[in-house]
Structure formats: C-alpha cells, structure tokens
Amino acid sequence: MRIVLLESLGISDGVIAKHAQKLENMGHSFTAYEKNTDPAVQVERCRNADAVMLANMPLSEAVIDKAEHLKFIDVAFTGVDHIPMEAARKKGIAVSNASGYATQAVAELCVSFMIQLLRNVNKTEKRCRTGGTKDGLIGNLLCGKTVGIVGAGAIGKRTAALCKAFGCTVLAYNRSKITDASVVDRQVSLEELLSSADIVSLHCPLTAETKGMIGKEQLALMKKTAFLINTARGGVVDQDALAAALSDGQIAGAALDVFDKEPPLPEDHPLLHAPNTIVTPHIGFASVESLEQRADIVFENLYSWLEGRQLNAV
C-alpha cells in the first residue's frame, strides 16, 4: 500500500521515522509532506495513494476525484467537516478520525476561558502592564454560576464535569437523551439554556443542522451579563451577529478559539475588534500530551485498516 501523510502531526521526526520504518518493513511505502492547501499540489501528492493521512487541513475534493487508488482517509482530528465526506462515500472510501484525543485539553481550555472572562484577566493584565490597578475591574467567581453546555458529547461532558467540580450548576442541550446524569443537573431546550446560563459553552460539531445555530435571535436570549465560549467550530456561530452583540453590550463577553475560517485571520475580521473578547488561534487540541495521543490513535487506525479492521469509523 502507498501511504501519504499530507501535513505534520505535531510530533517529533523520530517518531514519524519509526512508523515509516515499521510500514516499510510491512511492505508498504510511506511519504510525509509539508502542509500545502493548493488543490493541484494535493492531487499530485495523492494521485497514487491508497491511504491518506492528515489533520485539520482542508482536503480538496479534487483529491477524491483524481486519486483512483484511494481507499482510506485517516484524519488526525475529531471533526471531519474539512473532508469532502459525501464524495468519499460515493467512491466507497473509508474515513476514520482520532476521536477522544483532545477531550481533556479542550475542556481545560474552556474552564480557563471561563475564569479569565469572569475575573477580567485580559483587562487587568493590560492595566498592570501600563502602570494601572484593578480599580473598577473586580471580577466574579466561577463557583455558583450556571453553565450551559451545548452538545453533550465527550468534550461537553468533560467540560461539565470540571464545572461541577468548581461548584457550578450545569444545564445541557443535546439532540439525544443524556444518560450520564452525574455531570448535568438538567437537560433543557436550547432556548431555556441560553436564557438561563451565565456562561454558554459550545461543543457541537459543524453540520448542516448546526451551521449558524447561534445567531442574532439566539444571542438576544442570553443575559446581558452572560459569556459565550466557542471551542467547537466557528461556523456554529454567526460571526457578524456575535460581533454586533458584543459591540452593543448585548452580552458581556466571549472567548473564541475557532472562527469561520482557520487562522491566520484577516486583520479586519469582526471578532478581532469586538470588545470583551478573548481570541486564540485554534489551540484547544494543541497540548504535547494530546498530540502524542493523537498520533497513537491515527497510526493505530492505519495499522488496523491495513489488517482489514477499521477503527474510529466516521
């Protein structure tokens, strides 16, 4: 089998070399490339590939069309909205992901965002660096707050559990019934969650149903003192509506690790200039421990597929 890795997995060259050697000893070829989003380059690199590995780089649909031998796409990421899934299904190409590798990392970042927003860390740090004080910026505790979790999958549940440890009341909105009642106090409608929560944290995948699910009407339901946190997918939120809600003081603030496009963002992106906003360039999954676990999962996916068993099938 001809196996192609289209971008770095964030692990050492030594680890990649060990896997390459193992695959070659098994009779397969392995080629690793630097990231390139040019469809023509992707097509050329994948033209003869039987299996393609990548992380969160968008994969051109032209690859699916032109790679006549392609049978497996191994995604070193949880979400697959950057993969042309319908085209892959039509050609019978198997797709696996690395579900679970970033659960703790993203949940910890969410709680960090909550505390930073509540304690005015961004504003007080700027004050401190310019000779100022905390006057007028006394914050609030996370303990005792009502946190609304939108999407109670693995990351949503882990975030809920951490919030419970801080003494929060946790509400959750989820399409299916939540069976683990230990981390959620009540499962409610999206409307009730938005109107009741002090902090709304998004943990749903980007699908046709969730695209733009948090828009002008939904933001209008939130308390003026409430915060919105998005570590899920940027497309779940109407970016312009959120920027307007922040500028108008309709909600108190937001923390965003994802946007409608993958960073780097253009300088005029509306959310880069919205008040009371923390922005990070998609760091939720990016811890040393998570990237090591991700590599373990994605190569295990590959070895299992080569043996005729598909793990983590999407």
Catalytic residues: 233, 262, 282
Beta bridge partners of residue 245, listed in sequence order: none
d(CA 181, CA 160): 11
Beta strand pairing call for 29-32 and 51-54: unpaired
d(CA 4, CA 150): 36
CB 104 within 8 A of CB 293: no
Helix residue spans in 130-260 (DSSP H): 154-165, 190-196, 216-221, 239-247
Q: How far is CA 114 from the centre of its chain?
A: 17
Beta strand pairing call for 29-32 and 2-5: parallel
CB 142 within 8 A of CB 162: no
Angle between helices 121-129 and 103-118 (to 10 degrees): 60
